[in-house]
């Protein structure tokens, strides 16, 4: 399981967004196998970091008009 946290702080000219995660426990073996075989996830931590960066980039793109 993964706990996601978002922090929004006022900043000059906008808002600073901080996204973080905490892996609370190991996934059951069958989730790990499904992640590896069906989703191609070999390193869960690296996958979470990559997706976190993508989320922050999409959030920035959506809010910059």
The distance of Cα 14 from the centroid of its chain, to the nearest Å, equals 22
Mean pLDDT, residues 35-59 taken together: 90
- The structural domains of the chain, with segments of one domain joined by +, span 2-63
Q: 53: pLDDT confidence band, cut at 50, 70 and 90?
A: very high
Residues 6+ apart with CB under 8 A from 11: none
pLDDT digits (tens, 9 = 90+) for 13-33: 889 999 999 987 777 888 888
Record the pTM. 0.70
Q: Which residue has the higher pLDDT, 5 or 65?
A: 5
| Sign of the C-alpha dihedral computed for residues 60, 57, 31 and 7 taken in this order | negative
Whether residue 65 is predicted with pLDDT greater than 80 in this model: the reply is: no
Per-residue confidence (pLDDT) for residue 58, from 0 to 100? 93
């Amino acid at each position: 399981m993964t706990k996601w946290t978002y922090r929004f702080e006022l900043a000059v000219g906008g808002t600073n967004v901080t996204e973080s995660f905490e892996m609370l426990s190991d996934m059951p073996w069958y989730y790990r196998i499904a992640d590896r075989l069906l989703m191609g996830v070999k390193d869960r931590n690296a996958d979470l970091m990559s997706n976190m960066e993508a989320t922050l980039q999409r959030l920035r793109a959506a809010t910059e008009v």
